[in-house]
Amino acid sequence: MKTRYVIDRAALSRRGALGLAAGAALVALPGARGVRAQNLDKVSFQTNWRAQAEHGGYYQAVAAGIYRRYGIDCELRMGGPQQNPAQLLLAGRVDMIMSNGFQALNYVRENIPFLTIGAVMQKDPQVLISHEEAGFDGFDKKKGRPILIGAEARVTFWPFLRAKFGFTDDQIRPYTFNLGPFLANKQAIQQGFLSSEPYAARQAGANVRVLLIADAGYENYQTTIDISRRMVTEKRDLVQRFVDATMEGWTQYMRRQDIAAANALIIRDNPEMDQAKIDYAIEAMNRSGIVLSGDAERLGIGAMTHERWKSFYDTMVAAGVYPAGLAIQNAYSLDFVNKRVGL
């Protein structure tokens, strides 16, 4: 049986002075008086957007030395508007990416050998926001009214809303990710992320009503970990260590356990972020159970189930997004999650 060494954090801080090669760490040998260098397995992980609290668990696993404790040198690569994580993954330019349930089903539909191995967010944080003054206090109240949404929403949550609440495509207005039109019109409705647009609108003085689409039965997994089948087969132990370390990082982050260093890394990578935005996002995610709810409460962060995947797929088939008969069991693997890490 392999021994999993615990890295000496103080020794790590002296690594540069001791002239150790990059990718090595100092670890205490059981029963030994000294330390020795241990080569770390390198893993690259691509996020889906600029650094933010919604990526906090990954940053915590880096800042708190969790990845290194699991024998991993993790390179977090920040996403942005000019990047397509799925294309980078398929091209072999990154080991793993942050994605969502739709992408996993797309792998199956297009017969591509990639899959999802964990889902950090049990609830998709997509919301519709409106002004309190308008009185649109339910999804049914938004039927027939203009709604600002982006191109991606038209093939993800919009078909769900159309099927469940009778929304129609003539309600769609283009959303350019600029809050100006929403702020200027008290009757406006637009898409957003739970921890982003509502905060910005309130900072601008708007009295905002927020409806989480997931609470209406939209079961898309978000902030998933996607990977090639080849890596799953050839580096199974490394993949398991990465998943365990990641979920440990997320558990600490959502509980706000010594996360100042992680937040500092987020702000360093994305200067548009600040502590107030981070604090709001963590509180919003915890309040709505974005990360810790449902199956994650009994199986640990990252949890997935066959039943949830089938229900999501069936819903999107009914909404006309996917054809019936896809082998959705090929879209994901439960082998690396549901191990109650952090509970």
Q: Both 34 and 52 in a single domain?
A: no
CATH code for the domain in which residue 194 is found: 3.40.190.10
Higher pLDDT, 2 or 229: 229
* CA separation, residue 133 to residues 178, 184, 198, 199 (Å): 21, 13, 15, 17
340 part of a folded domain: no
Residue 190 predicted with pLDDT over 80: yes
CA dist., res. 11 & res. 331, Å (int): 42
Q: Contact at 8 Å (CB) between 128 and 165?
A: no
pLDDT, one tens digit per residue, over 13-33 is: 333 332 333 344 444 433 333
269 part of a folded domain: yes
Confidence of residue 342 (pLDDT cuts 50, 70, 90): confident
Q: Both 133 and 208 in a single domain?
A: yes
Q: Contact at 8 Å (CB) between 208 and 131?
A: yes
343 part of a folded domain: no
Q: Give the mean pLDDT of 62-85.
A: 96
**DSSP codes joined into one string, 45-109:** EE-SSSS-GGGHHHHHHHHTTHHHHTTEEEEEE---TT--HHHHHHTTS-SEEEEEHHHHHHHHH
Range of the domain at 174: 126-216
338 part of a folded domain: no
Q: Both 158 and 89 in a single domain?
A: no
Q: Both 326 and 238 in a single domain?
A: yes
Q: Domain total for the chain?
A: 3
SS3 197: helix
SS3 125: coil
pLDDT of residue 48: 96
342 part of a folded domain: no
Structure tokens at 182: 């929403």
As a whole number, the mean pLDDT across the chain is: 91
Q: Both 193 and 269 in a single domain?
A: no
337 part of a folded domain: no
Q: Both 174 and 322 in a single domain?
A: no
Q: Give the mean pLDDT of 102-130.
A: 98
276 part of a folded domain: yes
pLDDT, one tens digit per residue, over 239-264 is: 999 999 999 999 999 999 999 999 99
79 part of a folded domain: yes
Residue 2 predicted with pLDDT over 90: no
Q: Both 85 and 209 in a single domain?
A: no
Q: What are the backbone dihedrals phi and psi of residue 4, each rounded to the nearest 5 degrees, phi first?
A: -95, 110
- Which residue, of 216, 246, 280, is where some domain finishes? 216
Q: Both 244 and 106 in a single domain?
A: yes
Is residue 254 exposed (0-12), middle (13-18) or buried (19+ Cβ within 10 Å)?
buried
Per-residue b/e over 75-99, b at no fewer than 16 CB within 10 Å?
A: ebbbbeeeeebbebbbeeebbbbbb
- Which residue, of 186, 216, 246, is where some domain finishes? 216
